[in-house]
Amino acid sequence: MKMVNIMKIVKVMKVMKAMKAMKAMKAMKAMKAMNRVGQMVLLLHSFACALKTPKPIKIEVKNKSKKVEFVKSRKISPGEVIRVHLPFAKNKSANIFYCRKKKIMYHSFPDYNEAFISESYFSKMKSFNCYYADKWGKNKQRLLMVSNIPKEFPSERLRVDKKRVTLSKKDLRRFLREKKVLNKVYAGPTERPLFVKGFALPLNSKVTSIYGSKRVFNNSKVSQHLGTDFRAMVGTPIKSSNAGKVVLARDLFFTGNTVIVDHGLGIFTVYGHLSKINVHEGEKVIPFSLLGLAGATGRVSGPHLHWGVKVNGNWIEGSSLVEATN
Ligand SMILES: [Zn+2]
């Protein structure tokens, strides 16, 4: 039995040896073949390289930041707003942005700061500098110079209810009370932007009175129209120009049922003469949120929407904010 077993083991070992030898032969053949292919590849590669013009090796440093050009001068008209991109302040303790010594809010993006510069309707037409400085206005870093372009505004005559031109004592007291409320609203804007992307006109209808018209009410009182009037039937849905927070939703003497939206970064939009208000103070709105319905409340000569836009304390032409953000 033992002898048979030993014989079997020897046989198996021989078979295994033969198999190993065969495998080695095959591997050798394969390697030779591969060598031939390898040499061919090398030959072709060097031939191709010889045909190509040798180029210096370029090491590309991927810069993820967008290239932002920081302009040194801009132009502005009375009642206009411009959007500016600013480099970061060199001195972190002097990073307050000023134009004409007035503090202007800005928002930081990864590659730049963004701010809105507005010019008053009553501009004295003097060029001004914008710069970073500390809270005392010292350690200035000059950024850009803004020069004025003159603009002419038309005149118009309107006939309205005479009690809204010459105010009674009671109405005057009401107006002064409302003025205080409004001053408080405009004095506390949300610093960070609440708006998203570009601003939109509140209505797609005929503009019946443009921004800046000099107005003569009932042939006596003279004032300026610092908003845009859109033709709107009573009941026309009035939607928010952008996202923000409703900071006022009530009846006012001059603008009737009024909604004011704070969009942050010093930007407010006002919707006046509404027949119905659909939002409440403190409510957050998204672009095109229904604010109310058009009407003829307050000082009006007929139903329409009065759209006012205030940027950094100046009433500006709403369409210039639409242009600056789209
Ligand atoms: Zn108006």
Residues forming beta bridges with residue 84, ordered by sequence position = 115
Q: Which residue has the tokens 């032409």?
A: 317
In the predicted structure, residue 38 carries a pLDDT above the cut 60: no
CB 83 within 8 A of CB 324: yes
| Within-domain flag for 8 | no
pLDDT at 54: 44
Q: Domain ends where: 98, 118, 148?
A: 148
What CATH number does residue 141 fall under? 2.60.40
Distance 272 CA to ligand 1 centre (A): 8
Q: Domain ends where: 148, 167, 185?
A: 148
Q: Are 297 and 228 contained in the same domain? A: yes
In the predicted structure, residue 1 carries a pLDDT above the cut 70: no
Q: Are 125 and 174 contained in the same domain? A: no
Q: Which residue has the tokens 């027949």?
A: 275
Distance 50 CA to ligand 1 centre (A): 76
* Residue 263 CB contacts under 8 Å (≥ 6 apart), including other chains: 190, 193, 194, 195, 199, 241, 242, 243, 244, 269
Distance 228 CA to ligand 1 centre (A): 5
pLDDT at 105: 97
In the predicted structure, residue 55 carries a pLDDT above the cut 70: no
- Average pLDDT of the segment spanning 165-182: 93
Distance 116 CA to ligand 1 centre (A): 23
| Within-domain flag for 223 | yes
pTM of the model: 0.77
Distance 237 CA to ligand 1 centre (A): 17
Q: How many structural domains compose the chain?
A: 2
Distance 213 CA to ligand 1 centre (A): 10
Instruction: Output the average pLDDT for the chain.
Output: 85
Distance 225 CA to ligand 1 centre (A): 6
| Within-domain flag for 6 | no
Q: Are 228 and 87 contained in the same domain? A: no
| Within-domain flag for 291 | yes
Distance 217 CA to ligand 1 centre (A): 13
| Within-domain flag for 304 | yes
- Average pLDDT of the segment spanning 26-47: 43
Q: Are 191 and 316 contained in the same domain? A: yes
In the predicted structure, residue 246 carries a pLDDT above the cut 50: yes
Q: Which residue has the higher pLDDT, 233 or 220?
A: 233
Distance 301 CA to ligand 1 centre (A): 10
pLDDT at 52: 41
In the predicted structure, residue 11 carries a pLDDT above the cut 50: yes
Q: Can you give the residue range of the structural domain that contains 140?
A: 73-148
**pLDDT single digits (tens) 202-231:** 999 999 999 999 888 787 777 889 999 999
